[in-house]
Amino acid sequence: MRESTPEHWQRFWEEADDLELDDVYGTDGRLVREITGLGDLTGKRVLEVGAGTGRDAVALVQAGAEVLTLDYVAGSLGLTRKAATQAGVQVAPVCGNGELMPFAEGTFDVVFHQGLLEHFPDPLPLLRENIRVLKPGGTLVIDVPQTFHYYTLGKKVLIALDRWFAGWETQFTIGQLERLVRREGLVVTRSYGDWMVPGLWYRALRKILITRTTIQLPMFPEPIPLLARWGEAWRRWFGRTRCSLYTTPTIGVLARKPAGGSNMEARS
């Protein structure tokens, strides 16, 4: 079974670069919402590990933060530069390995990543490096696929057939993710989940039609007003329950690095 390589991700981001950034689905703003919810970002140093399209980084700069993005392929960093240029802001893209980052200990107020941790058979080297560069009292935000969702079932089938776009990857329950960061000495301050809008079926159908036909569905279909109101009301209510975190395709945690003591002491 193939694992992701720099060459694989370079091809992936080159293909994404052929599309307009406005025509590529992002994280629906959930990471930006979570990070801006921590408080005023003015003057705060933020690191995104695994740069993606750079749109989250741009939004955080617009909220007042100083943002660096780290990735090991030029294609992703190029998209970050493009997004920053289009927005008229400064983001500092850095080429480097997430397991051996070129930053001093305690450099950043916030470290975050989305769609990254699940690609590591052993997540601890990446996680410990995240913690190393985080300031005492700083926050780590991790966003990953959730185990109990039909997305995961379909993904597992495609991985077994060696047809999954991202090579090998795993997934987490919210309990597994919380335990992972707590074992490394962090304090979980918030756990969250997110339902994609539009849903995965619509996104998959849209991509198939774009790549194989001349049909192009809108990124966001026009909602039926009554159903949209009911759906939003249900999401607000159910989203406040712990059970909801076992139904969303993606989950995440915000975890604080204690202001005193060492992470090695916490793990012992």
- pLDDT, tens digit (0-9, with 9 covering 90-100), for 63-120: 999 999 999 887 778 888 988 999 999 999 999 999 999 999 999 999 999 989 999 9
- Position 34 pLDDT exceeds 90: yes
List, in order of start, the domains of the chain with CATH numbers.
6-197+242-258 (3.40.50.150)
CA dihedral 238, 59, 49, 243 (to 10 degrees): 0
Number of CB atoms found within 10 A of residue 54's CB: 29
In angstroms, rounded to a whole number, what is the distance separating the alpha carbons of residues 39 and 57? 16
CA pair distance 56, 60, nearest whole angstrom:
6
Average pLDDT, the chain: 84
- Is the model's pLDDT at 21 over the cut of 60? no
* Residue 209: per-residue pLDDT: 76
Determine what percent of the chain is predicted with pLDDT higher than 70. 84
pLDDT at 45 over 80: yes
Give the 3-state secondary structure of residue 216: coil
